[in-house]
Amino acid sequence: MSAPTQTLDERTLLDRVQAPAGEGREILDAATREVFGRAPVHTVADLDAAVAAARAAQPGWAALGHERRSALLHRAADAVEAQAEPLARLLSREQGKPLNGPNARFELGACATWLRTAADTPLEPEVLVDDETGHAELVYRPVGVVGAIGPWNWPLMIGIWQIAPSLRMGNTVVVKPSEHTPLSVLAMVAVLNDVLPDGVLTAVSGEREVGAGLAAHPDVDKIMFTGSTATGRKIIESSAGNLARLTLELGGNDAGIVLPDADPQAIAQDLFWGAFINTGQTCAALKRLYVHDSIHDDVVAALAEIAEATPMGRGLDEDSVLGPLQNAQQYDIVRRLVDDAKARGGRVVTGGEPAPELGELFYRTTIVTDVTDGVPLVDSEQFGPALPVIRYTDVDDAVASANRLDAGLGASVWSSDRDEARRVAARLEAGTVWINQHGGLHPMVPFGGVKGSGYGLEFGVEGLKSVAVPQVISG
């Protein structure tokens, strides 16, 4: 390891991690669809070597102790901050999210914050019994080697959510980035490894068989995965052979309920960004909105006004705050769901069509109303810039609608009466229920899903416990 030096430019950082000319797999700029880099294509043999190196490095890393590991995590955060701009530009090109707004630069800031929080969060032994009968306490030990399988929507931030607590607790980590966004993750890992000891953190960039191999690897003790519910189920099956521990943050179809006493103008901005952060490509984004009939039209109009005023464009354009869909498969899903909703009588208030003048994978920010439960745009996770707004008259019906799907990552309640909002929130089946906001995360507040949205907690003390093995010392 070596100390981080001066800030690199984007090309220098990219050249540190991409495959040599003529090798690897082409990676396209999400906005322009031009080739801008080549990702290494690692093999299962490369994965085996990475896991072996992690296994060999883990005892020494654990032996450093919490204080020394925490100091190194702070240095890692310094390194990320030093390279934040080239990392953000690389992320913007690969993922599509703009530099500004709650996007690429924001994501790099979150990476540093979560690294520092993981370093500074205390996890003290818990005294269970201390009396005339004896003494017993609960402590947490490293689990060993952690396999971190990341998504393409927030590849750096979610990567740090997996890496930072694992390292803090004395584990070593093997990272498998999404095939869609490997270069930005490889670059971030390279920056972190300017600080960390050899073998402690390794990234393996390969195709699906590498991810499957990591989930099933006999020398991996813990798997952390963020992605679709379907893939999560496969990981559960793959991990059964070695009984690897699991943290799974899976698909969501978050519902929001706007109560009749809410002020449409007061909540409109937060509603909009709850739904459209990262152009809707966020697991815990607001994906279906139930609005009381008495204020339905006012809420819809306020959302449409914001949508039409919010600039969409290429990520490296400093004026953009919404970008393209990251990949053609996701673009096709959004387009199909909106077209289907229109065919079923849904009314497009704004958007509802591609934006070809911006680029191949741009879809206009879309608000659709006059739809009901059962319409695929409501029942399926669209994961893009399209929000269905459903009218209701009875709050019990809205709660039933919110709970009817096999998804339970997040939900929200919007009201001028916080006590009433809390009463409704308590009835919703979701890992997190926000009041008058949606999707806001705090590094000390646990986050995780229920039902088909997965299990296990991340962040704060509970997040540290999830990447450790509990041990009772009694006597």
Q: Where are the domains of the chain?
A: 10-250+450-474, 254-435
251 close to 216: Cβ distance less than 8 angstroms: no
Query: Up-side HSE of residue 59: CA atoms within 13 Å toward CB?
Result: 2
358: amino acid identity, one letter: L
For the chain, list residues with pLDDT below 50: 2-4
Q: Which of 85, 107, 249, 381 is catalytic?
A: 249
- List Cα–Cα distances, 289 to 105, 197, 369, in angstroms: 28, 47, 10
420 close to 385: Cβ distance less than 8 angstroms: no
- Res 371: pLDDT: 98
- HEC letters along 28-89: ECCCCCCEEEEECCCCHHHHHHHHHHHHHHHHHHHHCHHHHHHHHHHHHHHHHHHCHHHHHH
123: amino acid identity, one letter: L
Architecture of domain 10-250+450-474: 3-Layer(aba) Sandwich (3.40)
With tokens 């507040």, the residue in question is 445
pTM of the model: 0.96
- List Cα–Cα distances, 221 to 155, 247, 341, 358, in angstroms: 22, 12, 44, 45
The two three-digit tokens of residue 322, written as one number: 């919404």
- Res 412: pLDDT: 98
129: amino acid identity, one letter: V
The two three-digit tokens of residue 20, written as one number: 């040599």
User: Does the active-site annotation cover 249?
Assistant: yes
End-to-end CA distance of the chain: 41
- Res 1: pLDDT: 52
Helix (H, G, I), strand (E, B) or coil at 173: strand
Length of the chain: 475
- Res 138: pLDDT: 98
- Res 7: pLDDT: 76
Rounded CA-CA distance 457/322 in Å is 29
Dihedral over Cα of 204, 205, 210, 211: its sign: positive
User: Does the active-site annotation cover 283?
Assistant: yes
The two three-digit tokens of residue 120, written as one number: 């500074």
407 close to 451: Cβ distance less than 8 angstroms: yes
Q: Identify which of 409, 4, 463 has the alpha carbon closest to the alpha carbon of residue 191.
A: 4
CATH code for 254-435?
3.40.309.10
* Exposure string over 340-373, b if 16+ CB within 10 A, otherwise e: ebbeeebebbbbbebbeebbebbbbbbbbbbbeb
454: amino acid identity, one letter: G
Crossing angle of helices 182-192 and 84-95, in 10° steps, is 160
325 close to 361: Cβ distance less than 8 angstroms: yes
- Res 3: pLDDT: 47
Q: Which of 10, 111, 179, 283 is catalytic?
A: 283
| Fold equal for 10-250+450-474 and 254-435 | no
DSSP label of 279? G
Q: What is the phi/psi pair of residue 91, to 5°? A: -60, -45
Helix (H, G, I), strand (E, B) or coil at 259: coil
Rounded CA-CA distance 403/318 in Å is 40
The two three-digit tokens of residue 386, written as one number: 């399209």
